[in-house]
Amino acid sequence: MIRIGPVDVSLEQRQLYLKGQPLRVGTRAFDILEVLIEAAGKLVSKDELLERVWPDTIVEESNLQVHIASLRKLLGNGRDFIKTIPGRGYLLTCPDDIEHRAAARSDGAANPDSAPLSNVPLGHTPLIGREKALDEVKSALAESPHVTLVGAGGIGKSQLGLEVARGLTPLFNDVRYINLSTVERPESTLSAIADRLACAGSTGVVTASSLIHAIGCRKMLIVLDNCEHVIQQAASICEQLVESNPNLRILATSREPLRTCLERIYWVAPLEVPAEHAGHDDILRCSAVDMFVSRAHAHAPSFLADGESTTLIGTICRRLDGLPLALELAAARVAALGISELVARLDQRFGVLTGGLRTAPPRQQTLKAALDWSHQFLCERERIVLRRISVFDGAFQLSAACEVAAYDELRADDVTEAIAGLVSKSLLMFGPNGSLMTYHLLETTRAYALQMLAESGESDLMFCKHEYFQRTRGAVTDDVDTIATPHEHTNLALQYA
């Protein structure tokens, strides 16, 4: 579909639509429009139009004028989409979408009229271990107009979203990838989206309704990547867009849910890590190990996952919580440090995992930057609670968190609020254990929070409170490994809700 003002044009069906309803258009009028669309905003002379539309007949120029007038009426008389250049010819004045179509044609697509437009970048490195997630996200998008991939920094939300978009491209006329992480001010979100959709068509100020108007009823998939830092604006735009176009699907990624009424949340889980005493073959079967080994190979071609190093690789993957970004940063250190040294230095992970890709965004250049990015979005109460609960090494329940972290300016209610906030911002893992919810910090998040606790000067106090709590009330005995993966529970719950 091509959009001209309020009207959608299907070149395949030779049909115009207004708000999804077909408009009556004559054959000659459509032929004229097709020639103008092909010219993609360039002037078409009257002679050329006459020759193309009436190839075997000599007709009066007035015929052309009549059809142009009827087209103008169909496209909305309010704005002159077909401009007359006196004495020379005509041109179409809303070229954005049309230019894209023209580019697709000149790219030599096999069947340009039916080839969807897409600006989704090619995936040069394979996505590892996400087969089930790909299926689940695609099904979620078949059922809901707006799905958000939520999870910790560097867990692979963007890569998963891109791969889903590549897989779904044939089902849409237009697939647009919009990376919001480069939007500097929240107020610029709307214009950034309009810009990248290249369909606003107007030169004036962009508003939500002009964007809705420009998208019309296009069968479109928008990937709105990295929404967390403009979450309020992203939420409002998503809600308005999906409510106005039944053919639109939005796949958002964010470290925090957008919380809109049509949103369906998909929690992205870490890659699979081996159990502590897993054997050689079981270790190699895990997706986290697969990813680490393939990245380590890229940095050090002589690198081999042999008997001894396999166990160490399993340890690295487990201690880095199966987090793709952390695994990538660790793999980049293999050539310089070797596997044993890397394991030995995991306790100082923030000092070691610093060599991100030059082309990666700053928040993914180091492991610490990935956490700093999330930390900046916490309110003061959440920051205090995050560092205080770092004394828990493993799973804990809300009552335990309240007991330990409620102190001084924070009451138990504040701690409860903060725990909910930390969960929603993907800094605290959660999952039901029987009728109770259980929480735990990933090892990397805990290491980060412990540093903050030390800097706050509260370490001794909090460890004392924790010890006292364990002595008097008893520790939660469940090991994290025995609790079902929180994301699995949540996504299943959502799936069958």
Ligand X SMILES: Nc1ncnc2c1ncn2[C@@H]1O[C@H](COP(=O)(O)OP(=O)(O)OP(=O)(O)O)[C@@H](O)[C@H]1O
Binding region for ligand X (CB under 6 A): 127-130, 151, 153-159, 226, 253, 255, 291, 324-325, 328, 363-364, 370
Which among 402, 376, 486 has a CA at the least distance from the CA of 441? 486
Q: Please, which residues have CB within 8 angstroms of residue 251's CB and are 6 or more apart in sequence?
A: 137, 141, 147, 148, 149, 161, 164, 165, 221, 222, 223, 224
DSSP state, residue 123: -
Identify whether the C-beta of residue 256 lies closer than 8 Å to the C-beta of residue 426: yes
Helix count and strand count (H, E) for the chain = 23, 16
Least distance in angstroms from the C-beta of 229 to ligand X: 10
216 binds, among ligand X, Mg ion, none (CB under 5 to 8 A by kind): none
Least distance in angstroms from the C-beta of 118 to ligand X: 19
Other Cβ atoms less than 10 A from the Cβ of 43: the count is: 14
Residue type, 351: G
Q: Is the dihedral of CA 306, 311, 316, 320 positive or negative?
A: positive
Least distance in angstroms from the C-beta of 219 to Mg ion: 26
User: How far apart are the C-alpha atoms of 448 and 454, rounded to whole Å?
Assistant: 10
Which single residue brings its beta carbon nearest to Mg ion?
Answer: 158
What is the DSSP secondary-structure string of 144-156?
Answer: -SEEEEE-STTSS
| Nearer residue to ligand X within complex by CB, 67 or 130 | 130
Task: Calculate helix-pair angle for 61-75, 46-53, nearest 10 degrees.
Answer: 90
Q: Which helix (H) or strand (E) holds 194?
A: helix 189-197
| Nearer residue to ligand X within complex by CB, 180 or 342 | 180
309 binds, among ligand X, Mg ion, none (CB under 5 to 8 A by kind): none
| Nearer residue to ligand X within complex by CB, 175 or 271 | 271
Least distance in angstroms from the C-beta of 252 to Mg ion: 11
Which single residue brings its beta carbon nearest to ligand X?
Answer: 156
Least distance in angstroms from the C-beta of 263 to ligand X: 18
Which among 115, 210, 125 has a CA at the least distance from the CA of 171? 115
Q: Which two tokens stand for residue 230?
A: 């403009």
| Nearer residue to Mg ion within complex by CB, 32 or 252 | 252
Identify whether the C-beta of residue 267 lies closer than 8 Å to the C-beta of residue 486: yes
Least distance in angstroms from the C-beta of 158 to Mg ion: 3
Q: Round to the nearest angstrom and report the end-to-end CA distance of the chain.
A: 35
User: How far apart are the C-alpha atoms of 248 and 217, rounded to whole Å?
Assistant: 7
Least distance in angstroms from the C-beta of 196 to ligand X: 17
| Nearer residue to ligand X within complex by CB, 287 or 433 | 287
| Nearer residue to Mg ion within complex by CB, 357 or 464 | 357
Least distance in angstroms from the C-beta of 458 to ligand X: 28
Least distance in angstroms from the C-beta of 319 to ligand X: 17
Q: Which helix (H) or strand (E) holds 117?
A: strand 117-118
491 binds, among ligand X, Mg ion, none (CB under 5 to 8 A by kind): none
| Nearer residue to ligand X within complex by CB, 160 or 483 | 160
Which residue matches tokens 């990547």?
225
291 binds, among ligand X, Mg ion, none (CB under 5 to 8 A by kind): ligand X
Which among 53, 12, 9, 47 has a CA at the least distance from the CA of 29? 53
Which residue matches tokens 């009827």?
70
User: How far apart are the C-alpha atoms of 145 and 391, rounded to whole Å?
Assistant: 41
| Nearer residue to ligand X within complex by CB, 295 or 388 | 295
Sheet of 2-4, strand order:
2-4, 7-10, 15-18, 21-23
- Chain contacts with Mg ion (rule: CB under 5 A): 157-158, 226
Identify whether the C-beta of residue 229 lies closer than 8 Å to the C-beta of residue 153: no
Least distance in angstroms from the C-beta of 282 to ligand X: 19
257 binds, among Mg ion, ligand X, none (CB under 5 to 8 A by kind): none
Other Cβ atoms less than 10 A from the Cβ of 114: the count is: 11
Least distance in angstroms from the C-beta of 374 to ligand X: 8
| Nearer residue to ligand X within complex by CB, 323 or 406 | 323
| Nearer residue to ligand X within complex by CB, 245 or 364 | 364
| Nearer residue to ligand X within complex by CB, 174 or 290 | 290
DSSP state, residue 188: G
SS3 of 90, please?
A: strand
